[in-house]
Structure 1
């Protein structure tokens, strides 16, 4: 179980890092033209960059605290925050009728729920 939690957290961290860096370095107009990126056309550039920064911080928070054993409770806390972000993302994509993006969001949400449950519960770092 511990190995599965590490793997899922690592994959989520990679997804978060990729999404965050993309939002920070790719121009908003190019993001808006990408599949499931149309929402960025309705958002300010500052919002997109802020979201990218938060995603990079989440990538760090989902793995690093446990790796360095400093405040490892931040791992499940970050996972819960990611769940909330995915709920918002799903709402946005549903309103825009972007069904495939919603499917991806559901997968990421389920992964984050698994990490939060596992790290708050049976495979807690405090136990």
Structure 2
């Protein structure tokens, strides 16, 4: 179960670290080709979302690795489940309606929640 957690959580953390960093540092014009919803959300909210994603990625990896507050990895995984539920809603209410990636991330986050419960 430990190998499974580290595999799924590591991939999820890598994705959110990358995506979150892009949301924090790139302009809306640079984000638009990858994220059609960026024009419907205020830039401070996009930046805040990116910050949450980066912190969540750290939360999936650092606590279990150090043994300090390992329950926070579970909290980060639950946060990503909630984040993707919101992302699906944003995509479905917009014009792009591309939710395949979000469903995959939701599934990976749910698996991480399940695997993290075995780590506590």
| TM bin (shorter chain) | over 0.9
Q: TM-score, normalised by structure 1?
A: 0.88
| Contact kept in structure 1, 2:4 and 2:115, CA below 8 Å | no
In structure 2, what is the equivalent of residue 115 of structure 1? Answer: 112
Alignment match, 1:70: 68
Tell me, which stretches of 5 or more residues in structure 1 are unaligned?
Answer: none
Q: How does 1:41-52 map to 2 (within 5 A)?
A: 41-52=39-50
User: How many residues are aligned here?
Assistant: 120
Q: Given that residues 80 and 106 in structure 2 are in contact (C-alpha distance below 8 angstroms), is that contact kept between their aligned partners in structure 1? A: yes
1:89 is paired with a residue whose SS is helix
CA distances 1:86-119 after superposition (whole Å, capped 9, x unpaired)? 000011111224344x111111111111111122
User: Runs (4+) of structure 1 moved beyond 4 Å?
Assistant: none
Residue 12 of structure 2: aligned partner: 12
The two structures, once aligned, show a CA RMSD in angstroms of: 1.2
**How many angstroms does 1:21 deviate by?**
0.5
**CA displacement at 1:30 relative to structure 2:** 2.1
Residue in structure 1 matched with residue 55 of structure 2 by the alignment: 57
**Matching of residue 104 in structure 1 with residue 101 in structure 2:** yes
Matching residue of 2:37:
39
Local SS of the residue matching 1:62: helix
User: Where does the alignment leave 5 or more consecutive residues of structure 2 unmatched?
Assistant: none
Q: How many angstroms apart in 1 are the aligned matches of 2:13 and 2:37? A: 23
Equivalent-residue separation in structure 2 for 1:63 and 1:116 (angstroms): 13
